[in-house]
Amino acid sequence: MRTGAGGPGRARGASAAVATPVALSLGLLVVAGCLLGWYVPGALAEEAAYRSAPFCPGAPAPTGSRECLDAVPGTVVAKEPGGGRGSRLPGLRWTTDGRSAPSWVRLEEEGALFSSVSPGDRVRVVRWRGAERAVVAGPLRQETAATPVDGHRLPYAVGLGLVPLGGVFGWVAYGWARRPEGAARASWPVSVPMACGLVLGAVGFFGPLVTDGLLDALLLSAGTAVPVLAAGAWLLRRRRNRPPGPVEVLPRLPGRERCFPGAVVGAVPCEVAGFSTLVAGPEGLAVAAGEEPGAARCRVPGSVAAVRVRPRAHTDARAVRAGAGDWVVECRDGDREVLVVAAREDLPWVLGVLR
């Protein structure tokens, strides 16, 4: 029978380790999808409607909620330089003709119009769909903080930045899912994808802010992704193919025969197709065709000596084909290499019977 304990606990831990990056990946991709698939198209449609809207004929409406542009005449009362966001944006305090209570209109920046006007100057404030969108003074026009022009840039930048980050967490989950059972969690399967994701996320975020169009930002992100992902894949492959280091496992001498899944790979007669059960007992190690008492067995020679224990590597092609466990006991039989493949919890019994 199989010996060892803690399998279900390790399985739950491994499942949680994979579930966390999967949840993060799905969450980030859902947010990115909402921004890119819903918010950005809406912002582009609003900007197109604003740019194509004509000025309203006749007197401006009191609320300025029409689909055409209401140009409300007024007088500048005061101006305030900007120094931040919200109420700290540069602003003009103005009053409409025949209105005693002045109000502030916040501009996007201290542009040419803001620099040219002074208290007492006449301006027109453009209202559209119930908000003050621009200020006009003679030939100069400057958008306010409520303008829909370029309103898609920031959500587009956030969406493009979140896509590679969501993909990175999926990459990490895939790497952890393929990690040998019981293996120590190395940092490189996380650090390499995260570095790639941060680079691509930064390019995706700043691309829409520095380019002129959506396609330009997308091409910039795609062009950057090719070399970055190629470099990340090369680093992961190079690190994965590096021989893993040894692992300390305390041998245990079995007082009776113990059967568990495993295989022997190497220049010994025990590498037999269908022999996928290891038998560790007082007489040594054997490979059997099953756990039944009468199953055929092949005794591992007593000259086989254990050298070290390590996780099964991707370069262990024959051990991978054996598929009997995620851990390998490297052994030597003279000048020949022999690999014993088993699960982590069964390694003490293997080491206990190998001299």
Digit-coded pLDDT (tens) for 244-296: 556 678 888 888 899 998 888 887 777 777 788 899 998 889 998 888 877 88
Domain that holds residue 127: 50-143
- In whole angstroms, how far apart are CA 254 and each of 20, 64, 231? 39, 88, 48
Same structural domain, 37 and 156 = yes
Burial class (CB in 10 A: 0-12, 13-18, 19+), 270: buried
Is 285 within 8 Å of 354 (Cβ atoms)? yes
Strand order in the sheet with 327-333: 297-299, 284-288, 277-281, 258-266, 336-342, 327-333, 305-311
User: 247 in a domain, yes or no?
Assistant: no
**Pairing between strand 327-333 and 336-342?**
antiparallel
Q: What is the side-by-side order of every strand in the sheet holding 122-128?
A: 103-106, 91-96, 70-80, 122-128, 131-137, 140-143
| H or E segment and range at residue 21 | helix 7-34
Asked whether residue 203 falls in the same domain as residue 267, the answer is: no
Same domain, yes or no: 126 and 191:
no
Determine, yes or no, domain membership for 63.
yes
The pLDDT value given to residue 32: 95
| Residue finishing a domain among 174, 207, 240 | 240
Domain end call among 209, 240, 271: 240
Count the domains in the chain. Answer: 3
* CB count in 10 Å sphere of residue 231: 14
Cα-based angle 221, 226, 232 (whole degrees, multiple of 5): 115
Give the dihedral of Cα atoms 182, 184, 190, 191; nearest 10 deg: -170
The structure's pTM equals 0.65
Tell me: do 137 and 156 sit in the same domain. no
DSSP annotation of 55 reads B
199: phi then psi, degrees, rounded to nearest 5: -65, -50
214 with 346, same domain?
A: no
For CA atoms 12, 348, 297, 306, give the dihedral sign.
positive
- pLDDT on residue 246: 61
So what's the pLDDT on residue 9?
47
The reported pLDDT for the residue numbered 123 is 93
Tell me if 212 is assigned to some domain: yes
Residues of the chain with pLDDT under 70: 1-17, 62, 83-87, 98-100, 178-187, 240-247, 314-324, 355
CA 253/CA 17 separation, integer angstroms: 33
Handedness of CA 185, 191, 196, 202 (dihedral sign): positive
Is 165 found in the same domain as 16?
Answer: yes
> Has residue 251 been placed in a domain?
no
Fill in the DSSP letter of residue 56: P
Tell whether 88 is covered by a domain: yes
**Are 29 and 164 found together in one domain?**
yes
Nearest to 189 by CA among 236, 142, 143, 232: 236
Q: What pLDDT, on the 0 to 100 scale, is given for residue 166?
A: 92
| 54/35 same-domain check | no
Shared domain for 262 and 340, answered yes or no, is: yes
Residue identified by tokens 């086989």 is 304
Task: Kindly state whether residues 132 and 276 are assigned to the same domain.
Answer: no
**Structure confidence at residue 206 (pLDDT):** 94
Query: In this structure, are 278 and 348 located in the same domain?
Result: yes
DSSP-derived 3-state class of residue 73: strand
Q: How far is CA 234 from the centre of its chain?
A: 18
Are residues 76 and 115 both part of a single domain? Answer: yes
